[in-house]
Amino acid sequence: MLAKYPDRDVAVTVVWFNMVRTDARDRWPRNEIVDRRVRHLWDAGKLVGTALAGRDELAAWRPVAWDAWLLYPAGKTWDVTAPVPSARGRTIIKTREALDASIRALPVGP
């Protein structure tokens, strides 16, 4: 999807962790989501997914948020708790149209 919008000013962090048998780190799909704006992280402790699911508005994702996307305004940082996303969806496949619209609405980069 990022390839459709090469001019959008976006930074993407993809957080991977083991939720189902096929998610093992040695099976991590290294050739997926390849873009200069993307960084990949492995979260063995599921800390990010647990923090996200801890937000009241994401309670349906408990105990661990996974196969989800979240959009934050530029400059938003995390502290003790996960910030409120400006847009979100789960599963990625089921909400891909909303994800596409969210990326399309982002400002064009310099």
Q: What is the per-residue pLDDT for 30?
A: 75
Q: How many CA atoms lie within 13 A of 50 on its CB side?
A: 8
Residues 6+ apart with CB under 8 A from 79: none
Render each residue's pLDDT in the chain as its tens digit; 110 residues. Answer: 899 999 998 999 999 999 887 888 887 777 888 999 999 999 999 999 999 999 888 889 999 999 999 999 888 888 878 888 999 999 999 999 999 999 999 989 77
Q: What is the per-residue pLDDT for 93?
A: 94
How many angstroms from the chain centroid is the CA of residue 21?
A: 20
Q: What is the per-residue pLDDT for 97?
A: 97
Q: What is the per-residue pLDDT for 109?
A: 79
Q: What is the per-residue pLDDT for 105?
A: 93
Task: Name the pTM for this structure.
Answer: 0.86
Q: 76-104 burial by CB neighbour count: b if 16+ within 10 A, else e?
A: eeeeeebeebeebbbeeeebeeebeebbe
